[in-house]
Chains A and B, each alone.
Chain A
């Protein structure tokens, strides 16, 4: 335990000091940390799932508080919680189904269950899962032969859990932990491969001789463009430099080294150039549940320009960037104000910031926000690792990844006290 504690503290520190750059790295490290938290958690005899949920929540809360601007942390924590719930449910239902089959003769407890002795464990799992959240497209497509059976099985599932034998429990607890860790491993795998999965779709979107515009720098965008280039598509890229950090310069450099025809423009020239552009492709900091995008500063302007000229505005986002919260949610910190020194040199302006004379208050105020909010109506398409989606579909996608119970992680009781 002290081992994970040290790991957690170390990670907290890094988050606090803003030492981890990029959502993907943050998401991956968060998932890895939570995996070790799970593997270190002692499993009680009863209620293993809630024990796991409790320990993950406890760590998750602190992680989120350490850097609330990086929404990927919260996303991963919520996804891990969702995984635990899912695995627990499928195990319970599977065990229950097993119990059902074996207890066919001595039905002392549940008469309802006898009505459906032939239900497969998988079907029950799928069915019971669907009761915990609104049905998503995927679950609807999975075959559920008897939807009427769903409420019964799930309600009795709770009963049977309490009655299961202790020997069964211990093997199950080990199984639960094992399954959860397996699933978290899959999640980590997903996070690290999301860029390739997104890039694979590039050829479907970028066509011959098109002009693509992007702003600032995003690894995902870079790989997306390069993937199209590798598939022998020839196209041109306009890169807006992305003041004040000018990461567009780096992107332009990268693109040129990979042999792409690149034009670097200032952010303010975007509107002038947009009429020649076929498609705007940008990265995102986070995608909210309503399909709105939190993205590097300046993107709202680009989106508006694109809308004016009816240019498709495409946002690339790995699934770890999908946030189950809405932008108006009080927990969401939309922006971070960085140091004004990125905009101007302190020394040159030091005489403007002399508080010793005049009214004693600064007349010059430099604001350097990091992010913009692009409303969903300005976005034409999201490309995630699972494919392209309409902004209005995002809430559905998000429902697949998160449980409604986990949206608010802060324990009310703790804050109340």
Chain B
């Protein structure tokens, strides 16, 4: 209730100084809405997974607190109970000047849903920091906030500041050190405005496409591929309402950021703030888990390092980056390498070798064990002679003597690996069976706590065999308990990219060879090399054909269908033109289309309707078309802002006449004239089209010839006008 009251007063006081007095708020999404950490996240939420023995969310909260944030809203969805219980029992619930409030939801499936729910709660009263609970940083917010506020004063449309950091992607794998895909960003170097954002570029093509208006509107543009998105955003309140208005925004980057960048009607702008000396990174996959753990151990995140966060009396840093709790029982002959962390109450046996690893609390490690680059959580028992390389071992796992974990293995909670059993590389093992149906869009899927244990257990992996204990045991050797999850077709490629294990050399060699071949191909084909060299423009009508890959073609076809359906509905239900414009606009946003495409699609639907409505002769068809065009000219006109778009309509019409609606072929000049009369097409557009077509093949010139008279007439009219002017 108190929050609502505050909200009311906040809305009354709109002047900037009043707004500045609000305590700095933050929204922390304690759910990543992905499945990348499965099977672990089936049992525990990602934000509570230990990162160098401290739950991830602690790093985020500690940073927010030290950065001067006073109020944090933690949005919990998957395993919300666990998150809330944890926060209530932790130190965060009793901090002075730092309040942590949890917001629980059971049916949110994306960041978009989360933000819409928070908007409904009406708890955010000013600028806020948007962050997910798996982000580690030590940056100072002061400067970024100040920049954001200053920009807001000048331009109310600057609604978001994204934090970026330099990080060079690997030239071979095309991915960053955090295991994410290479990110392309176009930034205006003067204003720092973000103009282009693409994290799923097609490397095989060797080029990316930028809208030419982007270059026209900005005196200088820098295209970066060495920037890392830190997923720390300083947002204004409008961001929340934007999410509410655009109910189809789900993903923060893929939908929201790209949506704003493509859409120029609303005019909202996103800016970037680059950090240099401080650290910020988000744990997105197992590779980044490994990388960020190592960064923390190397103290890049200082002061958010284990010995400071836990208090140095509990954990001490020794030579070569060895972090050791005070009561570790260590055999004299055990060999501890550099960069390791050993938690409280852990016992380590004779001749055991450990390097580059994190070992949690109360673990028992036997003799002659080799542990390299692995992450072992709490209460793990590792018997004599085991070998672990680049693995993640969750709480309560038991490795029987002689077990071997090959690189990239993930053992989820309480799995038991049998004696002498070798767990193959990249396997994921869990007590829970693998969910049989996989959503094609993994980003939207989330670890649903309700469909947790019971349901999954009954799902049979192999269908015919009942999952009794002996069957389970057979998968992990004698005495083993757990299921080895199957790797899906095509996902294998992802496995080595995103695993905790370093990329095997043979993969690197293969990638390098592939790349060389690609380059040879490119140099052989003169056309492609020029394409990769220069910036292609999207809105260029002629070029668009070969620029578009299959995906966007498919997108366009389905978009066209949707527009047609909308249009027909508008015709049949007598929807007002304004509403129809809105609907088409919404479609355009969700399909990520330019307004050029809309004009074409609407025109297409109109002509199709004309063809499909009953007619006996060409003149009747002409009349039909004229009727429809007259009724809906406003709709069409609202998507034709400039000449390029009008030319696109002509081209579209040409295409129709050749393919889908040949009946119009004869009427081409008449319809063109009609459009000119209705002021849908300007004469400049028609003349430009004619000029462009002049140089084309004979076969392409069919319609140009047919409308020659009309164009002739237009030209003369123009000349006359000019003469009159003189």
Contacts and interface: CB of A to CB of B under 8 A. Distances in A.
Give the residue among A346, A355, A366 with the most B Cβ atoms within 10 A: A355
Contacts of B355: 361
Interface string A346-381: 111011011111111110011010000000000000
A164 interface: no
B373 to A, nearest CB: 5
A9 B95 CA distance: 8
A333 B316 contact: yes
B177 A353 contact: yes
A297 interface: no
Contacts of A356: 170, 173, 175, 177, 179, 287, 291, 502-503
Interface stretch (B294-302, B394-402, B536-544): B294-302
Contact of B501 (A18, A66, A342, A360): A360
Contact of B299 (A16, A340, A345, A358): A340
Given A66-B311, A357-B170, A362-B339, A345 B302 contact: no
Given A66-B311, A68-B312, A357-B172, A341 B278 contact: yes
A149 B320 CA distance: 58
Given A342-B277, A366-B298, A350 B356 contact: no
A148 interface: no
Interface stretch (B160-168, B376-384, B443-451, B631-639): B160-168
Contacts of B165: 346-347
Interface residues of B, number: 49
A337 interface: yes
Contacts of A221: none
A68 B313 contact: yes
B593 interface: no
A110 interface: no
Interface in A116-134: none
A141 B312 CA distance: 42
Contact of A347 (B167, B302, B311, B390): B167
B261 to A, nearest CB: 24
A361 B320 CA distance: 13
Interface string B41-64: 000000000000000000000000
Given A16-B308, A361-B339, A347 B226 contact: yes
A347 B166 CA distance: 4
Nearest to B293: A355
A65 interface: yes
Nearest to A349: B168
B585 interface: no
A10 B96 contact: yes
Interface in B111-167: 138, 165-167
Interface in B301-316: 301-303, 308, 311-313, 316
Contacts of B287: 356
A275 interface: no
A339 interface: yes
Contact of B279 (A9, A341, A348, A351): A341
B514 to A, nearest CB: 16
B66 A17 contact: yes
A17 B303 contact: yes
B308 A357 contact: no
Contacts of B290: 355, 360
B508 interface: yes
Contacts of A361: 294, 339, 355-356, 373
A414 interface: no
Contacts of A366: 298
B321 interface: yes
Nearest to A19: B66
Interface string A175-192: 000000000000000000
B300 A345 contact: no
A168 B330 CA distance: 57
Contacts of A346: 165-167, 276-277, 279, 300
Contacts of B65: 17
B298 A355 contact: no
A351 B313 contact: no
A337 B173 contact: no
A362 to B, nearest CB: 6
Interface of A: 6, 9-10, 13, 16-19, 65-69, 333, 337-342, 345-348, 350-351, 353-362, 365-366, 368
Given A333-B312, A355-B291, A356-B173, 19 more contacts: A10-B96, A18-B308, A68-B312, A337-B302, A338-B299, A342-B277, A347-B165, A351-B177, A354-B170, A355-B290, A355-B294, A355-B502, A356-B503, A357-B170, A358-B502, A360-B356, A360-B502, A362-B294, A365-B320
25 contacts: A10-B96, A17-B65, A17-B303, A66-B311, A68-B312, A337-B302, A337-B317, A339-B302, A346-B279, A347-B276, A350-B167, A350-B168, A350-B177, A351-B177, A353-B291, A353-B294, A354-B170, A354-B291, A355-B291, A356-B503, A358-B502, A360-B390, A361-B294, A361-B339, A365-B321
